[in-house]
Structure 1
Amino acid sequence: MSRFAARRARLAAQMQPGAVAVLPTAPEVTRNGDSEYAYRHDSYFYYLTGFPEPESALVLVAANAGKPARSILFCREKNVEREIWDGYRYGPAGAQAAFGFDEAYPIGDIDAQMARILADAPALYYALGRNAALDAQVQGWLKAVRAQARLGVTAPSSAHDLLALLDEMRLLKDDDEQATMLRAATISGQAHARAMLATKPGMYEYEIEAELLYEFRRNGAQFPAYTPIVASGANACILHYNANNAQTRDGDLVLIDAGCELDGYASDITRTYPVGGTFSKPQRTLYELVLAAHSAALAAIVPGRPYSDMHEAAMRVLTEGMLDLGLLDRTKYRTFEDAIAERAHTQFYMHGTGHWLGMDVHDVGAYKDTALEGKPSRRLVPGMALTVEPGIYVRPAENVPEQYWNIGIRIEDDVIVTEDGYRILSGAAPRQVLEIEKLMRGA
């Protein structure tokens, strides 16, 4: 638990001396009747605690006037009868010993304890405006502290957004996080390979999805990181398609966007491949265009370069290709700059080329440097984790060559920024045309 304790210490060191931070975990959510969805902790809470149980909250008190910082956990009490039904509970004493907190109390005591902890604290840090129930609870705590004013007790005079500090911490992944993300991406890459190998014309998309989910779980991943997209034929031109109920046809492509979550960390991989095992000429032409854009985006991942360079590099390659292939009218847009200036490329490429990746699929952290005038794109730093995912989506339309209709392609990998460039985490998923075709032949 030392890495979680170290994170708590780093956070406390950024707080005002003597200030208090409070961070609850996610609640259990009813699915229907008396059944809950599979429980998943709050990412911020887990990042600081490693504690997996619901009905929990972390409180940090920053060092002040020679007093060291303290970490306090509120959690469910031990309940042997409930453990028969629902499984093991640590309880306050067990959680304090196992997870390295300085103090631990029953969650039912949090209101009384917070009135004590906040007394004379100069500031309060929490997720401002994120949770109406927490906002109301905080108001109750402050009211209880102010009720002691005649005794000389003061309430915090300022409130700060705790998540802004945590976002910057979470943006850079340490060695343990990178190792977990590599394992998650490897499991997911193997799942994509399994899906390719299993696909045959006539299968339903949900049958292919089942191959992915099986590979995730049998390798220890706890959840899919998000609802898998298994989109065949024209469905691949729907960016967030997830009905996964169409029957595949020989001659179509399948676009799979799927990744597992392992020990709290997400993977996010997209591959596109032919149902029958061989790309047609138009499919291969567009696939290799997207692959070239993918390579250009990767080449832009260099420490010190702006994050936005990745998207601009991919967009340039894709737009030039659209002009060369007649997807965009060369007589109307003589150069790719002209096409980009009029956003003509967005007919076929309408999303960004990547996003931060970590405990959340679309992970936390600002994409712009808000400390600088004009808020330019922030510069890449070793330890950042991101996806690279250019694509092209050709829907039927006038003046669009019919041979490309209903072809949707995306290629997405998980990447860590390193001292000398980048490291791809998701290499277990075949990406090159010949690799894919060879695998699908069973070779």
Structure 2
Amino acid sequence: MTFDPSLHAARRREIAARMAAEGGGVMLLPAAEEKLRNADAEYLFRQDSDHAYVTGLDEPSGCALLYADGRYVLFVRPRDPEKEIWTGRRAGVEGAKAAYGATEAYPVGELDQRLPALLDGAGTLWFSLGREATWDVRVGRVLCDLRSRARAGARAPLRMADPALVLHELRLVKSEPEVRALRKAAEITAEAHLAAMRDGQPGRREYQVQAEIEYAFRRRGGTGPGYGTIVAAGPNATILHYRASDAPLKDGEVCLVDAGAEYDFYTADVSRTFPISGSFTKAQRAAYEVVLDAQVKAIEEVKPGATLDAIHDATVRRLIEGMLALGLLRGTVDERLADKSYRKYYMHRTSHWLGMDVHDVGAYFLDGRPRPLVPGMVVTIEPGLYVPPDDAAAPEALRGVGIRIEDDVLVTAEGHENLTASTPKDPDEVEACCVR
């Protein structure tokens, strides 16, 4: 991770100011913990996004405490020369202050001992209750301890507030450094999708295509996939969150790839569908063009003041029109909207926020109404069609065909910028990329 002390300090100042405007208090942000995969082997560590956004510290265990008055406390693993031989260098208590800007820092082993005093008199505790059971229990103990000592002058926080009200609203609108990271993630992702199209020939296995994709991620400087890579060949493409397995890629079928590289904690999220033989069949191309037309028009609608709900509703209408033309549905658009029969072939939303998390943070509704887009937001646009392989009512040539086309779109003052436009999606260009 590229650590910029001034960037993270500016974020903390903004968070403190927003907390102060809401009555002050202290925000408690736990770091991620290392988790065992099996026996004594851990899963690859990935820092909690909120903690990374605020601190820039990419180490497990401990927490950050942000006060509305600007005080900033870190609990970190202490320096330990013997352990650092095995698992790498640590910032330690001194590094937490000198390099990461903490006004106070303590070893993580002192957390339970010191936390009551650090929360005493806070007024408001900004903490994400229900997210992590271990921390829920720890915070509960601290509150009970402070309440039990009220006659001695201890003052437990009087109210709890969700950090999302401040922190996630800040994360929702991306700064220029964040957009740069997303552009880089998009650039890496484009190369990975091209590698998938080249490698995805008849006889290859899904996991082999996945390997080509994730090799491209790492070769270009990404930290790996930002989420589980989807390589879905043939009927597997009709399973929305399918994970690459060992199914063979077969001539005459399509392969759906949903994959995004993570770079500097920010992830791309791109879906492309390509013909395994190198050429779409007539029926596959017709379905593909229905999805592409809906996707291109949806991207055109991304601009300040638009809402994701309105974009989704317009996209659904276009897809229904296409389903009627393809023979998947009968009747009128309004009839199929009313009975929701279109959901047999298109059952997910068109968009979601994108950033440090693939399904990024931020409220989708304000005061019960769909939230208007503003410059700096990044959204996905990802319509699809999925025809079950056993759907006897569908044209035979479309059974088992799944298509999704997805791009990452930045809302700008003038309208939008498609961050992932360099990944081919025109059907002729896609076929040209499938070198056979």
Q: Give CA deviations for 1:113-163 in whole Å, capped at 9, x if unaligned.
A: 222222222221111222222122112223343454344332222221223
Alignment of 1:12-411 (within 5 A): 12-16=16-20, 19-63=25-69, 69-329=70-330, 333=331, 335-369=332-366, 371=367, 375-395=368-388, 396-411=390-405
Which residue of structure 2 lines up, in the alignment, with residue 434 of structure 1? Answer: 428
Q: CA deviation at 1:243?
A: 4.2
Structure 2 length normalisation: TM-score?
0.95
Equivalent-residue separation in structure 2 for 1:198 and 1:400 (angstroms): 30
Tell me, yes or no, if the aligned pair for 1:296 and 1:317 is still in contact at 8 Å: no
Equivalent-residue separation in structure 2 for 1:345 and 1:270 (angstroms): 21
Instruction: Return the letter of the residue paired with 1:236.
Output: A
**Aligned CA distance change for structure 1 residues 116 and 321 (closer, same or farther; 3 Å):** same
Q: CA deviation at 1:200?
A: 1.7
1:2 matched to 2:6: yes
Tell me, yes or no, if the aligned pair for 1:190 and 1:428 is still in contact at 8 Å: no
Instruction: Return the letter of the residue paired with 1:138.
Output: V
For residue 121 of structure 2, give the secondary structure of its aligned residue in structure 1.
coil
| Of 264-273 and 235-244, the range deviating more from structure 2 | 235-244
Tell me, yes or no, if the aligned pair for 1:229 and 1:244 is still in contact at 8 Å: no
**Aligned CA distance change for structure 1 residues 115 and 316 (closer, same or farther; 3 Å):** same
Tell me, yes or no, if the aligned pair for 1:296 and 1:313 is still in contact at 8 Å: no
Structure 1 length normalisation: TM-score?
0.94
| Of 134-143 and 3-12, the range deviating more from structure 2 | 134-143
Residues matched between the structures, number? 429
Q: Give CA deviations for 1:318-359 in whole Å, capped at 9, x if unaligned.
A: 101111222112xxx2x2122111112111111111211111
Q: CA deviation at 1:164?
A: 3.0
Q: CA deviation at 1:279?
A: 1.0
Instruction: Return the letter of the residue paired with 1:412.
Output: E
Which structure 1 residue ranges, 4+ long, deviate > 6 Å from structure 2? Answer: none
Q: Give CA deviations for 1:175-205 in whole Å, capped at 9, x if unaligned.
A: 1111001101110111001111122211111
Which residue of structure 2 lines up, in the alignment, with residue 66 of structure 1? Answer: none
Instruction: Return the letter of the residue paired with 2:68.
Output: A
Instruction: Return the letter of the residue paired with 2:429.
Output: E
Q: CA deviation at 1:441?
A: 3.4
Q: CA deviation at 1:8?
A: 1.3
Structure 2 residue runs of 5 or longer lacking an equivalent are none
For residue 99 of structure 1, give the secondary structure of its aligned residue in structure 2.
coil
Q: CA deviation at 1:18?
A: 5.2
For residue 283 of structure 1, give the secondary structure of its aligned residue in structure 2.
helix
Q: For 1:421, which of 415, 421, 424 is the aligned residue?
A: 415
Equivalent-residue separation in structure 2 for 1:214 and 1:362 (angstroms): 23
Tell me, yes or no, if the aligned pair for 1:168 and 1:365 is still in contact at 8 Å: yes
Tell me, yes or no, if the aligned pair for 1:385 and 1:417 is still in contact at 8 Å: yes
Q: CA deviation at 1:293?
A: 0.5
Equivalent-residue separation in structure 2 for 1:123 and 1:227 (angstroms): 37
For residue 77 of structure 1, give the secondary structure of its aligned residue in structure 2.
coil
**Aligned CA distance change for structure 1 residues 323 and 57 (closer, same or farther; 3 Å):** same
Instruction: Return the letter of the residue paired with 2:370.
Output: S
Equivalent-residue separation in structure 1 for 2:115 and 2:393 (angstroms): 66
Q: CA RMSD in A?
A: 1.5
For residue 431 of structure 2, give the secondary structure of its aligned residue in structure 1.
helix
Q: CA deviation at 1:272?
A: 0.3
For residue 52 of structure 1, give the secondary structure of its aligned residue in structure 2.
coil
| Of 336-345 and 129-138, the range deviating more from structure 2 | 129-138
Q: CA deviation at 1:277?
A: 0.9
Structure 1 residue runs of 5 or longer lacking an equivalent are 64-68
Equivalent-residue separation in structure 2 for 1:122 and 1:248 (angstroms): 60
Q: Give CA deviations for 1:192-250 in whole Å, capped at 9, x if unaligned.
A: 01111122211111111111011011111112111111111111111111142111111
Q: Give CA deviations for 1:264-298 in whole Å, capped at 9, x if unaligned.
A: 11111110011111111111111111000001211
Tell me, yes or no, if the aligned pair for 2:210 and 2:244 is still in contact at 8 Å: no
Equivalent-residue separation in structure 1 for 2:327 and 2:144 (angstroms): 67
Equivalent-residue separation in structure 2 for 1:299 and 1:248 (angstroms): 34
Tell me, yes or no, if the aligned pair for 1:233 and 1:252 is still in contact at 8 Å: yes
